[in-house]
Chain A
């Protein structure tokens, strides 16, 4: 907390241990242990850490969900806006601390934008004029004023997320906590949310943003790093790459650049132009302008989409889409929320039969081939792994696909073993998949798809909710698969994943393919990205400021050399 700033939230020796079986992933260990933390008025705090570090647990302590709504053992105390959270009900604390979860759909229950925001003030029994005033202020802060009378079903994902924030904001809490609230958003949505957080802080409210990396948490005044329930770093300065590595965490790209090039910014500055300038000031010059050689050409086409269109009632989701994916190729489908990405994916394995248009996968016409035959060629991993896990053991769950496809017991056992080996879950065959962590559940879901021995693997947002180390592990696995000849098609918002792991990117906007090319080409077309609500990763933009093309920190650093002083 900055000196002199009055304290809004203060944790003293805060600890929490989950009691229920739904949190078996945490075991009976302390999810939070001896946390001391102070958040000042008008301060923006980035609460960072890997999965299981205790970020969500701490967020739930701010507004009293812990200990009132989540069973477990609480140690120490949390005081928010002068109120000990143990002394009041969650509903009574809503005026002091507001919390927005990652799943914004679950937080919206009213028919229109205006009524959604009014719901909280109505519960406080405020006079109608005061409710109206609060609704207007909250909508203006989140730039939703023009949508007041719109149905929430007619909003985009980004608008819904901002609405969830506005709905909490109308309660006028002294502290607003966003728990991975931007992880499902496109760049545009994240920008608007970050801008709203800045406005709130300027307005005197404290804002806590929990996320996996500083880059995605937006601008902030204080960085708090959690690791295994402890505060591992708390400072106005971001945690240096060395500290993160020592704790087994992956440093973000800015921290890595600052560390490798020994920049004075220390990874705190997120602006590409200023970082590029700092790199020049540190005495680096461009050694190589040409990008590294492109990866070898991929094999023959295994997916061909021609003239594909699809509508949900009156809403056009896809319009004359074309796509070709080669054997061993990793293709990223990117674009704004609601741009038609998932609809395109669902055509590739026959979940939606193409009409009009044509989809051919491994020589099969998807409109005509039986579902089972398509599934033996194409495996699909849904965005939410919980939608496909059902068996009592990891083994049985992974074996479901091969068994359903009529493979014999020996083949099934072999395929399951190979799939579990690929995702690093060998030895955990007898565990109940439902009790695993989100990252492990995602891996079981992926293993289930791999056990089908597909020639094409289709994944809808496989990195959502995973920390950077888990994301890297998943993407390395997909890279290995593609090298063995499997074509991989992923939908993702994580542009750094696209930059580092995909061969090609396809930009979808309003159901149309706006651009299709190598990742380097696409990430260099700022206008196309901007129109689709996307933005190149920070590393790519820093490289662009320096006049070079680089897709990763390593590429960027290898293209630079210290200037030789005469």
Chain B
């Protein structure tokens, strides 16, 4: 069973250069944060969802929809409580919370599309292409690659301990927290051993042997890159323009 987000079936975003994907992610995920009104952040979210579906990341979106709904609900709840204390009404708190929740989820959606369409190798190649030192780029890509491995190991450990009668589901909060102790030591140990082995395997494959590194895959910008970059720059520009014009920006009384 795999726990990574990368989607094998190629979509339109898969086909573009790694540098374009980074630009798409950077501008696409930042744009919703320039806005606050839920009508505008909601539109940004709708655009992100449309991009996700057409780029082939729809299945990942379905896997994580509960997380997004939970996040929006919690944000609304927090602002509905916090904002009235600063002179705004409860309804204004809900409205502001909704705007904040939707913009974060819109940004997360773009991140999800990026992870669904970009391999770890492309991430480091793209960053290097944008001028980031290779070692730094490689560490970021490796960290992202390790997430599904760690999740998979955690699930194996949970299974091994459940087989010995570990009950993670019953009892109060403290009892449940204590029940997780048998999972921590094997997790820590497996992660450390895995990291140790990974670092040795990387050295065995000549990582850092030369100052200059080359790439099998050529980085070339084509018409698709121009189209994607043009689209995402226009999207970001629109968000900037709306913010400057004061549209989509909403402040609660007293802020």
Contact = CB atoms under 8 A, between A and B. Distances in A.
A167 B204 CA distance: 10
10 contacts: A106-B194, A128-B216, A128-B218, A371-B167, A384-B156, A388-B186, A391-B182, A391-B185, A404-B167, A452-B165
B206 A124 contact: yes
Chain A CB within 10 A, most for which of B119, B120, B121, B215: B121
B123 to A, nearest CB: 10
A404 B164 contact: yes
A45 to B, nearest CB: 19
Interface in B184-208: 184-186, 189-190, 193-194, 197-208
A494 interface: no
Interface string A141-158: 000000000010110000
Given A91-B207, A120-B205, A390-B185, A372 B163 contact: no
Interface SS of B by simple majority: helix
Given A94-B209, A123-B209, A371-B162, A109 B120 contact: yes
Contacts of B142: 109
B145 interface: yes
A400 B182 CA distance: 9
A153 B7 CA distance: 11
A90 B218 contact: no
B166 A404 contact: yes
Interface string B11-38: 0000000000000000000000000000
Contact of B205 (A94, A153, A379): A94
A111 B162 CA distance: 32
A106 B165 contact: no
B120 A91 contact: no
A346 B159 CA distance: 9
Given A106-B197, A125-B210, A390 B181 contact: yes
Interface of A: 63, 65, 68-69, 89-92, 94-95, 98-99, 101, 103, 106-107, 109-112, 114-115, 118-128, 131-132, 135, 151, 153-154, 167-168, 171, 312-313, 346, 349, 351, 371-372, 375-376, 379-380, 382, 384, 386-391, 400-401, 404-405, 434, 448-449, 452
Given A123-B207, A434-B189, 11 more contacts: A65-B203, A89-B203, A89-B208, A95-B206, A107-B197, A109-B142, A109-B202, A115-B216, A132-B216, A387-B156, A389-B185
A452 B198 CA distance: 36
Given A65-B204, A90-B204, A98-B204, A128 B161 contact: no
A135 B6 CA distance: 24
Contacts of B6: 111
Interface in B151-172: 153, 156-157, 159-167
A95 to B, nearest CB: 7
A351 B159 contact: yes
A176 to B, nearest CB: 11
